[in-house]
Structure 1
Amino acid sequence: MTSERPAPTATPRQLRRWRQYLADERAEAAVYRELAERRSGEERQILLALAEAEGRHEAHWLALLGDRVGRPRPVALRTRILTLLARGFGSVFVLALAQRAEARSPYERDEDATETMAADEAIHGEVVRGLAARGRERLSGTFRAAVFGANDGLVSNLALVLGIGATGVSPQTVLFTGIAGLLAGALSMGAGEYVSVRSQRELLDASRPDPEAQSALPHLDVDANELALVYRARGMGEAAAAEHAARVLATLHLDSDDVEASGVDPHEALGSAWGAALSSFCFFASGALIPVLPYLLGASGVAAVVIAASLVGVALLGTGAIVGLLSGASPLRRALRQLGIGLGAAGATYLLGLLFGTTIA
């Protein structure tokens, strides 16, 4: 229950906290309304319901503050970023950020918030997780190829350039080696992604029910009910298969179980073979170009190594943070993990180059 009058014993610190909560609730409701404007159907209704729930929380803090609302407080930085992204994009990135924001709700530890409000925030996180999951699945095919392509290009070509450079060869040799690694890796990644996605799509097609089987339904022996065997082959028990087959025969509509409960077709989640191949090629090439840049610009020796490693480090932090955002995890932790793995692999190759070569000029 919300209070009708401000608490008489409210301290200045409490008032500041209540005002901050009020500002944040208003901003979060605005985020969900902005997202709803770019959605339709069920997703729109869900987002509007979330905005309405944030409005109830807003009313709680208004009731506690009473005539002490004061000047509007600035909203938290993450909420401002969410609002801007929702207005500009309305994408899965915004939902992923909203999921993290809901998970960080302080209401469970705040005695001035009700248990209902704390429970609301926990459930809101799961609701947003479900909405974001749809976008993640639609994005997963091409996004996977892009992220893995960029990361592989960064790490593999940095390792190649540092390893060759550590042997003491000329900067021109390192440059040409890096360019060769870029082209060979990009072509290999593109071809590999095409074959991989194409093969997966063909396997899925082979598992789809044959549309022509629909025409056989009116002629089936209802008593023998051969259709039940179809559902038993898909994993149903004998009784459940017979019951399901009877319903299908009653409607004469052969259903398909190849669409997941999320409503995303597995083919859509995979993406197109050409899209994955092109994405992988371009992102590998763009990642692999970064370690070569210092040599293209005339740098050599230790300076080129430091510049290349620094540029790749920044790029690895960026790709790691993006993966963290989309997965609803900590962007900083994912960024540091990506950085550690990438530079660790390149460093090992560099040490091998020193071991088998001479020295950097």
Structure 2
Amino acid sequence: MTNDAPTKRQIRRWQRNLVDERLEADVYRDLAAKASDEDREILLALANAESRHEEHWLLLLGEHADGARRSFLRSHALGWLARHFGGVFILALAQKAEARAKYDDDRDATLAMAADEHVHEEVVRALAERGRTKLSGTFRAAVFGANDGLVSNLALILGIGAAGVSNSTVLLSGLAGLLAGAMSMGAGEYVSVRSQRELLEASEPSETTARKLPDLDVDANELALLYRARGMSPAAADAHAAQILNNYSSSTRLADPINAAEFESHGTAWGAAWSSFCFFASGATVPILPYLFGLQGLAAVVVAVALVGMALAITGAAVGLLSGAAPLRRALRQVAIGFGAAGVTYALGSIFGVAAG
């Protein structure tokens, strides 16, 4: 820091930092209002840390602090989302904000503030990871289902339409594609998740074995072999087995906590199937909306492509937010992939239509 009078550029930067700290503190407090006891304490501690940073910029700004104006829309939008939804999407945004490492090269910030921001990123990442784990099974099915419905049905109606068939044929083809695809996606997701859970269940330790632990030969202690088979060193396996036997109770289990996390991350088979069915159907409905409302020819195609493009951008941005990546980049990638697949199908339909003619 310097004793010289701050420049206008410095003042603007300090004001921007002050606004950011206030906004982040408010978001953490709003999230804390809907969080569990443990998470609430963590989020409030983060908010207090941001308030400490706020005091630093207030001290530097002095009389210029009154000129710091936060973005009304951004502030209230994030606050509203945090209060009404909370959870992983806002945490993902907070993680992205903390990851900017804005104080690393700021000579007006303290080293402690820069270190705080890096630690905050890891804390928020850990909190967001819990939500991502809970969402991953059903959310994955929902996003993939919606994306598949959008792309496959757009490709279907474009291909059919390019072949020169009537408007009613295009509409019926789109409805048939919606129903067939939704049923297929739902059934496939159910089988996939159910099969994965059955594989995990096959790896679960038997509860009967746990009940037999008191009858083990303590001197031989073959329980240690179980933990060696799970990857522990002989010494660690012996120590862990001895601990299990010494602290045995009727509730003692041999379950591996990693498997519990795996079960949670895959979600339920019916939940994944239902999400996949509904979101495929909702996605597949979008391309046929123009035909349902009576549009025909090029007008129907243009409107269908525009609607699907917007929907693909939304699903791509949602994935970007959840993963902490840039939403715009993910949205553009989703749109490019979807339009690429639909464009190929449209070209093939045009070729077949010409050939048939």
TM range (shorter): over 0.9
CA contact (8 A) 1:86 1:94 kept: yes
Give the alignment partner of residue 24 of structure 2, picking from 9, 24, 28: 28
Q: Does 1:153 align with 2:149?
A: yes
8 A contact 2:33–2:83 mirrored in 1: no
TM-score with structure 2 length normalisation? 0.93
Aligned to 1:183: 179
* Residue 258, structure 1, aligned to residue 254, structure 2: no
Task: State, as a whole percentage, how many aligned pairs show the same letter.
Answer: 65
**Number of residue equivalences:** 354
Aligned to 1:136: 132
Q: Return the alpha-carbon distance in structure 1 between the equivalents of residues 313 and 12 of structure 2.
A: 35
* Runs of 4+ deviating beyond 6 Å: none
Letter in 2 for 1:177: S
TM-superposition CA deviations, 1:127-162 (whole Å, max 9, x none): 111100100000111111110000000001111111
1:10-40 deviation digits (Å, cap 9, x = unpaired): 1233223222222221221121112112222
Cα deviation 1:61-107 (Å, max 9, x = unaligned):
12212344224422485454322211222121110111111122422
Residue 66 of structure 2 aligns to a residue whose secondary structure is: coil
1:240 maps to which of 225, 236, 242? 236
CA distance in 1: counterparts of 2:71 and 2:49, whole angstroms: 18
Amino acid at match of 1:258: P
RMSD: 2.1
1:8, distance to aligned residue in structure 2 (A): 4.0
Q: Hey, what's the Cα distance between the residues in 2 that align with 1:239 and 1:144? A: 41
Q: In structure 2, what is the Cα distance between the partners aligned to 1:79 and 1:204? A: 44
Please name the residue that 1:268 is paired with.
264
Deviates more, 1:295-304 or 1:103-112: 103-112
Q: Partner residue of 1:172?
A: 168
Local SS of the residue matching 1:96: helix
Aligned equivalent of 1:19, options 12, 15, 19:
15
5+ residue gaps, structure 2, are: none
How do 1:106-121 residues align onto structure 2 when only pairs under 5 Å count?
106-121=102-117
**SS of the residue aligned with 2:257?**
coil
**Is 2:338 the partner of 1:342?**
yes
Instruction: Please give the alpha-carbon distance, in whole angstroms, between the structure 1 residues aligned to 2:46 and 2:73.
Output: 21
2:47 maps to which residue? 51
Q: For 1:73-84, list aligned pairs within 5 A.
A: 73-75=69-71, 78-84=74-80
> How many Å apart are 1:278 and its aligned residue?
1.0
Look up the match of 1:352: 348
Alpha-carbon displacement from aligned partner over 1:250-282 (angstroms, at most 9, x marks no partner): 11134422337xxx7322221111111111111
Stretch deviating more after TM superposition (51-60 or 183-192)? 51-60
SS at match of 1:357: helix
Residues 323-351 of structure 1, C-alpha deviation per residue, up to 9 Å, x if partnerless?
A: 00001000000000000000000000100
Range that drifts further, 77-86 or 272-281: 77-86
Residue deviations 1:194-222, cap 9 Å, x none? 11111111221221111222211111101
What is the DSSP-based 3-state SS (H/G/I as helix, E as strand, rest coil) of the residue aligned with 1:180? helix
Deviation at 1:55, TM superposition (A): 1.4
Give the residue type in structure 1 aligned to 2:236: A
Q: Say if 2:207 and 2:254, in contact at 8 Å, map to a contact too.
A: no
Which residue number in structure 2 is paired with residue 163 of structure 1?
159
> Residue type matched to 2:219 in 1?
D
CA distance change for structure 1 residues 226 and 348 in 2, over 3 Å: closer, same or farther?
Answer: same
Q: What is the rounded CA distance, in whole Å, between the counterparts of 1:217 and 1:10 in structure 2?
A: 72
Unaligned runs of at least 5 residues, structure 1: none
